Amino acid sequence: MKLYKAYAKVNIFLKITGKRGNYHEIISRFMRVDSLHDELSFVAKDESSDFKIIGKFSCDTKQNTIYKAYVALLESLDEAASSSLKNLMSKYAVHVNKNIPAFAGLGGGSSDAATFLKMCNEVLHLGLSQNELSLVGIKVGADVPFFIYGYDSANVSGIGEIVEEFKENLLDIEIFTPKIEISTPKVYTSYRENFYVPIDGFKAEKLKKTSSLDIVKKMSADEANDLFKPALHEYKELKNHYKQGYYFSGSGSSFFRVKGV
């Protein structure tokens, strides 16, 4: 069966713009990392059974973003299409060759979920648009829509549901991921309780128009990412891994740098 690539991303910058209920609204530049990706495929099962994922995951199947994407897609389809999807997943397992570290701020789970949705759309000829797939994906996770659209680079805002392509060349990104499992909710809670200073609309608009290369030339790691300080606050050992010239992706634990800068 066909092999599908689920790429990693880094956040060139990530700034909090406000709150929406229990969520934080953001403005962030997501950039795809071509050198790091998971590989997904459908593989035939020996016998008809429930939904199955084959791969190295630390969570139960029902906690996996791919399974959550399956459930969200089922709920969005009409009876005939949902029946076709159930039939597909009774005969095939999702095989995942996992290369993107978990709990690392690289969007691995979200990318896997988005890729699975696109696989189902293609294989079953569902005819769903990127916008329709994104509406399904946002129910799984805030980063999923970015991976649905497949842009090289994009400004992502709201709680992740607004994805606007930013035309620029991909940068040559090198990633370093310490073996620290970071809880995104814990980091956001720490930000809200200890570091809450959302940026105003004027600064957000200026960032949206600035190239990623200029961002990494002009801003420090903590200036570029509002979650860096709360992550350091909650996970003191992170400080031992920070190197000058590196930036922090998402809520961590990954650091990245642009080669040649």
For the chain of 261 residues, list the mean pLDDT of each consecutive stretch of 10: 94 94 91 97 86 89 94 97 95 96 92 98 97 96 95 94 95 95 92 94 95 96 96 95 94 92 78
Task: Determine the pLDDT at residue 27.
Answer: 97
The verdict on 96 and 203 lying in the same domain is no
The verdict on 242 and 208 lying in the same domain is yes
**How many independent structural domains does the chain possess?**
2
Active-site pick, 9, 15, 68, 118: 9
Residue for token pair 């791969």: 55
Domain of 46 in residue numbering reads as 4-165
Active-site pick, 139, 143, 203, 206: 143
The verdict on 14 and 46 lying in the same domain is yes
* DSSP state letter for 194: I
The verdict on 47 and 138 lying in the same domain is yes
The residues that bridge with 247 in the sheet, in sequence order, are: 256
- Residues 147 and 163: their CA atoms lie apart, in Å, by 10
Task: Determine the pLDDT at residue 21.
Answer: 82
The verdict on 26 and 104 lying in the same domain is yes
CATH number at residue 218: 3.30.70.890
Task: Determine the pLDDT at residue 57.
Answer: 86
The answer to whether 247 and 223 are in contact (CB under 8 A) is no
9 carries an active-site annotation: yes
143 carries an active-site annotation: yes
The answer to whether 16 and 196 are in contact (CB under 8 A) is yes
- Residues 81 and 83: their CA atoms lie apart, in Å, by 5
